[in-house]
Amino acid sequence: MTVEHRGERISIVRDRHRHHVTNYADGKPQQINAAVYGLSCFYFSSWRAPKLVGSVGLTVGRGKRPAANQENSLWRLKQHLVNLKGASSFRYAAANPDKFLDRLNKVWSLFYPERRDRFAADVRREEDGADNRVKEGDTEREDNLSFDLLYYDDKHAGGIPVDELSSGEIEILSMAGAFMLNKEGFDIVFIDEPELHLHLAWHRAILPALRQVAPQTQFICATHSEEILDPVYSFERFTLLPENDPRVRGRESNRTAEGGDE
Protein backbone atom coordinates (compact mmCIF):
# COMPACT_ATOMS: atom_id res chain seq x y z
CA MET A 1 0.00 0.00 0.00
CA THR A 2 1.32 3.43 -0.94
CA VAL A 3 0.22 6.88 0.29
CA GLU A 4 1.49 10.12 -1.25
CA HIS A 5 1.25 13.52 0.47
CA ARG A 6 3.08 16.83 -0.15
CA GLY A 7 5.90 15.25 -2.10
CA GLU A 8 6.37 12.34 0.28
CA ARG A 9 5.50 8.75 -0.53
CA ILE A 10 5.04 6.18 2.24
CA SER A 11 5.04 2.55 1.16
CA ILE A 12 3.98 -0.45 3.29
CA VAL A 13 5.05 -3.84 1.95
CA ARG A 14 4.10 -7.08 3.66
CA ASP A 15 6.26 -10.18 3.50
CA ARG A 16 6.03 -13.46 5.38
CA HIS A 17 7.68 -12.26 8.58
CA ARG A 18 7.19 -8.52 8.92
CA HIS A 19 5.99 -5.28 7.34
CA HIS A 20 8.50 -2.93 5.69
CA VAL A 21 7.62 0.75 5.89
CA THR A 22 9.59 3.13 3.67
CA ASN A 23 9.24 6.91 3.58
CA TYR A 24 10.36 8.31 0.21
CA ALA A 25 11.24 11.95 0.91
CA ASP A 26 12.82 13.98 -1.92
CA GLY A 27 13.02 10.80 -3.97
CA LYS A 28 15.32 9.07 -1.47
CA PRO A 29 14.06 6.07 0.54
CA GLN A 30 14.37 6.36 4.30
CA GLN A 31 13.80 3.04 6.03
CA ILE A 32 11.74 3.05 9.24
CA ASN A 33 11.25 -0.70 9.53
CA ALA A 34 12.01 -0.79 13.25
CA ALA A 35 8.82 1.10 14.04
CA VAL A 36 6.61 -1.74 12.82
CA TYR A 37 8.84 -4.78 13.10
CA GLY A 38 6.83 -7.76 14.27
CA LEU A 39 3.41 -6.12 13.97
CA SER A 40 0.56 -8.35 12.87
CA CYS A 41 -1.45 -6.61 10.14
CA PHE A 42 -4.38 -7.58 7.93
CA TYR A 43 -5.90 -5.85 4.91
CA PHE A 44 -9.52 -6.06 3.74
CA SER A 45 -9.54 -4.72 0.18
CA SER A 46 -12.52 -3.12 -1.56
CA TRP A 47 -12.77 -6.04 -4.02
CA ARG A 48 -13.22 -8.63 -1.32
CA ALA A 49 -15.67 -11.42 -2.11
CA PRO A 50 -15.48 -14.54 0.09
CA LYS A 51 -15.26 -17.81 -1.82
CA LEU A 52 -18.40 -19.93 -1.42
CA VAL A 53 -17.19 -23.53 -1.34
CA GLY A 54 -20.31 -25.29 -0.08
CA SER A 55 -19.95 -28.18 2.33
CA VAL A 56 -16.48 -29.24 3.51
CA GLY A 57 -14.77 -32.37 4.73
CA LEU A 58 -12.94 -32.94 8.00
CA THR A 59 -9.29 -31.88 8.02
CA VAL A 60 -8.45 -32.63 11.65
CA GLY A 61 -4.77 -33.31 12.22
CA ARG A 62 -2.60 -33.01 9.12
CA GLY A 63 -5.37 -32.43 6.63
CA LYS A 64 -5.05 -29.70 4.01
CA ARG A 65 -6.47 -26.32 5.05
CA PRO A 66 -7.34 -23.20 3.04
CA ALA A 67 -4.77 -20.41 2.91
CA ALA A 68 -5.24 -17.56 5.38
CA ASN A 69 -6.43 -14.75 3.09
CA GLN A 70 -9.56 -12.66 2.71
CA GLU A 71 -10.90 -14.76 -0.18
CA ASN A 72 -10.92 -17.85 2.04
CA SER A 73 -12.26 -16.13 5.17
CA LEU A 74 -15.67 -17.84 5.12
CA TRP A 75 -14.17 -21.16 4.07
CA ARG A 76 -11.66 -21.04 6.94
CA LEU A 77 -14.40 -20.21 9.44
CA LYS A 78 -16.63 -23.14 8.49
CA GLN A 79 -13.64 -25.48 8.20
CA HIS A 80 -12.49 -24.53 11.70
CA LEU A 81 -15.93 -25.10 13.20
CA VAL A 82 -16.50 -28.39 11.36
CA ASN A 83 -13.10 -29.61 12.55
CA LEU A 84 -13.89 -28.59 16.14
CA LYS A 85 -17.21 -30.42 15.92
CA GLY A 86 -15.51 -33.55 14.58
CA ALA A 87 -12.69 -33.48 17.13
CA SER A 88 -15.12 -33.02 20.02
CA SER A 89 -16.73 -36.37 19.16
CA PHE A 90 -13.69 -38.19 20.47
CA ARG A 91 -13.74 -39.04 24.12
CA TYR A 92 -10.52 -37.34 25.21
CA ALA A 93 -10.54 -34.44 22.77
CA ALA A 94 -10.19 -30.95 24.25
CA ALA A 95 -11.97 -29.29 21.30
CA ASN A 96 -15.00 -27.21 22.27
CA PRO A 97 -16.96 -25.81 19.30
CA ASP A 98 -19.67 -24.39 21.57
CA LYS A 99 -17.34 -21.79 23.09
CA PHE A 100 -16.30 -20.53 19.64
CA LEU A 101 -19.90 -20.55 18.42
CA ASP A 102 -21.03 -18.57 21.47
CA ARG A 103 -18.62 -15.80 20.54
CA LEU A 104 -19.77 -15.85 16.93
CA ASN A 105 -23.44 -15.74 17.93
CA LYS A 106 -22.80 -12.78 20.26
CA VAL A 107 -21.23 -10.83 17.39
CA TRP A 108 -24.23 -11.69 15.20
CA SER A 109 -26.63 -10.43 17.89
CA LEU A 110 -25.11 -6.94 17.51
CA PHE A 111 -26.72 -6.77 14.07
CA TYR A 112 -29.94 -8.60 14.97
CA PRO A 113 -30.46 -7.60 18.62
CA GLU A 114 -34.19 -8.44 18.61
CA ARG A 115 -33.73 -11.97 17.28
CA ARG A 116 -32.27 -15.22 18.57
CA ASP A 117 -30.57 -16.47 15.42
CA ARG A 118 -27.62 -18.80 15.81
CA PHE A 119 -24.95 -20.74 13.93
CA ALA A 120 -23.96 -24.38 14.35
CA ALA A 121 -21.70 -26.89 12.58
CA ASP A 122 -23.71 -29.92 11.54
CA VAL A 123 -23.81 -32.96 9.25
CA ARG A 124 -25.98 -32.77 6.14
CA ARG A 125 -27.19 -35.07 3.38
CA GLU A 126 -26.17 -34.23 -0.16
CA GLU A 127 -29.73 -33.80 -1.40
CA ASP A 128 -32.33 -31.08 -1.82
CA GLY A 129 -34.95 -30.43 0.82
CA ALA A 130 -36.07 -27.94 3.40
CA ASP A 131 -34.55 -29.92 6.24
CA ASN A 132 -31.78 -32.25 5.17
CA ARG A 133 -29.91 -32.43 8.46
CA VAL A 134 -28.96 -35.89 9.61
CA LYS A 135 -31.09 -36.80 12.59
CA GLU A 136 -30.23 -39.16 15.40
CA GLY A 137 -30.94 -42.74 14.42
CA ASP A 138 -30.52 -42.21 10.68
CA THR A 139 -28.74 -45.04 8.90
CA GLU A 140 -27.91 -43.32 5.61
CA ARG A 141 -24.79 -44.30 3.72
CA GLU A 142 -21.71 -42.26 4.53
CA ASP A 143 -21.08 -41.23 0.92
CA ASN A 144 -24.08 -38.87 0.84
CA LEU A 145 -23.11 -36.97 4.00
CA SER A 146 -21.28 -33.65 4.20
CA PHE A 147 -20.37 -31.06 6.83
CA ASP A 148 -21.29 -27.40 6.87
CA LEU A 149 -21.84 -24.30 8.99
CA LEU A 150 -25.60 -23.78 9.28
CA TYR A 151 -27.70 -20.75 10.12
CA TYR A 152 -30.87 -21.08 12.19
CA ASP A 153 -33.64 -18.51 12.55
CA ASP A 154 -37.43 -18.41 12.79
CA LYS A 155 -37.82 -18.94 9.05
CA HIS A 156 -35.30 -21.80 8.85
CA ALA A 157 -35.84 -24.06 11.84
CA GLY A 158 -33.94 -26.82 10.04
CA GLY A 159 -31.01 -24.54 9.26
CA ILE A 160 -29.59 -23.35 5.94
CA PRO A 161 -25.94 -23.31 4.77
CA VAL A 162 -24.28 -19.96 5.43
CA ASP A 163 -23.45 -19.73 1.71
CA GLU A 164 -27.15 -18.93 1.19
CA LEU A 165 -27.10 -15.81 3.35
CA SER A 166 -27.18 -12.34 1.79
CA SER A 167 -23.93 -10.71 0.64
CA GLY A 168 -24.04 -8.32 3.61
CA GLU A 169 -24.57 -11.14 6.11
CA ILE A 170 -21.72 -13.13 4.55
CA GLU A 171 -19.53 -10.02 4.79
CA ILE A 172 -20.21 -9.71 8.53
CA LEU A 173 -19.67 -13.43 9.12
CA SER A 174 -16.44 -13.58 7.11
CA MET A 175 -14.97 -10.48 8.72
CA ALA A 176 -15.79 -11.66 12.25
CA GLY A 177 -14.33 -15.07 11.45
CA ALA A 178 -11.05 -13.55 10.26
CA PHE A 179 -10.56 -11.92 13.67
CA MET A 180 -11.71 -14.90 15.73
CA LEU A 181 -9.40 -17.32 13.91
CA ASN A 182 -6.34 -15.16 14.61
CA LYS A 183 -5.49 -16.35 18.12
CA GLU A 184 -2.72 -13.80 18.69
CA GLY A 185 -4.82 -10.90 17.41
CA PHE A 186 -4.01 -8.25 14.82
CA ASP A 187 -2.14 -5.10 15.79
CA ILE A 188 -3.39 -3.07 12.82
CA VAL A 189 -6.22 -3.80 10.38
CA PHE A 190 -6.76 -1.82 7.19
CA ILE A 191 -10.28 -1.86 5.74
CA ASP A 192 -11.09 -0.30 2.40
CA GLU A 193 -14.81 0.56 2.40
CA PRO A 194 -16.05 -1.23 5.53
CA GLU A 195 -19.60 -0.50 4.32
CA LEU A 196 -19.14 -2.85 1.34
CA HIS A 197 -22.22 -5.09 0.78
CA LEU A 198 -23.83 -3.88 4.02
CA HIS A 199 -27.36 -2.58 4.44
CA LEU A 200 -27.37 1.12 5.30
CA ALA A 201 -28.69 0.36 8.78
CA TRP A 202 -25.55 -1.68 9.50
CA HIS A 203 -23.08 1.05 8.51
CA ARG A 204 -23.24 2.49 12.01
CA ALA A 205 -22.89 -0.93 13.63
CA ILE A 206 -19.88 -2.43 11.84
CA LEU A 207 -17.02 -0.53 13.55
CA PRO A 208 -18.42 -0.83 17.12
CA ALA A 209 -18.92 -4.54 16.45
CA LEU A 210 -15.35 -5.00 15.23
CA ARG A 211 -14.06 -3.13 18.27
CA GLN A 212 -15.85 -5.60 20.48
CA VAL A 213 -14.37 -8.53 18.56
CA ALA A 214 -10.85 -7.06 18.57
CA PRO A 215 -10.59 -4.39 21.33
CA GLN A 216 -6.77 -4.23 21.17
CA THR A 217 -6.61 -3.74 17.39
CA GLN A 218 -6.13 -0.38 15.67
CA PHE A 219 -8.44 0.04 12.68
CA ILE A 220 -7.54 2.25 9.73
CA CYS A 221 -10.49 2.55 7.36
CA ALA A 222 -11.17 4.39 4.11
CA THR A 223 -14.87 5.11 3.56
CA HIS A 224 -17.36 7.21 1.58
CA SER A 225 -20.15 6.55 4.08
CA GLU A 226 -21.12 9.24 6.58
CA GLU A 227 -22.91 6.57 8.62
CA ILE A 228 -19.62 4.68 9.10
CA LEU A 229 -18.23 7.84 10.73
CA ASP A 230 -21.18 8.35 13.10
CA PRO A 231 -19.78 6.21 15.98
CA VAL A 232 -16.22 7.52 15.46
CA TYR A 233 -14.83 10.39 17.56
CA SER A 234 -13.94 13.58 15.69
CA PHE A 235 -10.23 13.29 16.52
CA GLU A 236 -10.22 9.85 14.88
CA ARG A 237 -11.43 11.20 11.52
CA PHE A 238 -9.18 12.39 8.70
CA THR A 239 -10.44 13.79 5.41
CA LEU A 240 -8.29 13.19 2.33
CA LEU A 241 -8.84 15.79 -0.39
CA PRO A 242 -7.15 16.66 -3.71
CA GLU A 243 -5.13 19.88 -3.67
CA ASN A 244 -7.60 21.69 -5.94
CA ASP A 245 -10.56 21.01 -3.65
CA PRO A 246 -12.22 24.27 -2.49
CA ARG A 247 -12.00 23.14 1.13
CA VAL A 248 -8.22 22.81 0.82
CA ARG A 249 -7.86 26.24 -0.78
CA GLY A 250 -10.04 27.75 1.93
CA ARG A 251 -7.90 26.28 4.69
CA GLU A 252 -4.66 27.46 3.05
CA SER A 253 -6.15 30.97 2.79
CA ASN A 254 -6.99 30.91 6.50
CA ARG A 255 -3.44 29.88 7.35
CA THR A 256 -1.99 32.75 5.32
CA ALA A 257 -4.34 35.23 6.95
CA GLU A 258 -3.32 34.02 10.39
CA GLY A 259 0.36 34.41 9.57
CA GLY A 260 1.50 30.79 9.29
CA ASP A 261 0.64 27.17 9.94
CA GLU A 262 -1.60 26.15 12.76
pLDDT at site 16: 46
pLDDT at residue 179 tops 70: yes
pLDDT confidence tier of residue 42, bands split at 50, 70 and 90: confident
DSSP string, the chain: -EEEETTEEEEEEE-SS-EEEEEEETTEEEE-GGGTTT--EEEE-TT-------SB----SS-----SSGGGHHHHHHHHHHHHHHHTTSTT----HHHHHHHHHHHHHTT-TT---EEEEEEEESS-SS--BPPTT----GGGEEEEEEEEETTEEEEEEGGGS-HHHHHHHHHHHHHHT-TT--SEEEEE-TTTT--GGGHHHHHHHHHHH-TT-EEEEE---HHHHTTS-GGG------TT-HHHHHHHHHHHHHTS--
**From CA 82, how far away is CA 99, in angstroms rounded?**
13
Contact, 174 vs 77, CB < 8 A? Answer: yes
Answer yes or no: is pLDDT of 30 > 90.
Answer: no
Each residue of 75-100: pLDDT tens digit? 999 999 988 888 887 765 667 888 89
Per-residue pLDDT at 52: 92
**Among 9-18, 136-145, 161-170, the range of highest mean pLDDT:** 161-170
**Range with the lowest mean pLDDT among 50-54, 190-194, 200-204, 249-253?**
249-253
109 vs 91, higher pLDDT: 109
Average pLDDT over residues 231-260: 73
Q: What proportion of the chain, given as a percentage, has pLDDT over 70?
A: 69
> What is the average pLDDT across 221-244?
87
Q: Mind listing the pLDDT tens digit for each residue in 239-253? A: 877 777 777 665 556
Q: At 35, is the pLDDT very low, low, confident or very high (cuts 50, 70, 90)?
A: very low
Instruction: Answer yes or no: is pLDDT of 261 > 80.
Output: no
Of residues 231 and 130, which shows the higher confidence score? 231
pLDDT over 70 at 217, yes or no:
yes
pTM of this prediction? Answer: 0.71
CB 198 within 8 A of CB 98: no
87: left (phi over 0), alpha (psi -120 to 50) or beta: alpha
85-93: Cβ within 8 A, 24+ apart: 85/121, 85/122, 85/147, 86/58, 86/60, 86/147, 87/60
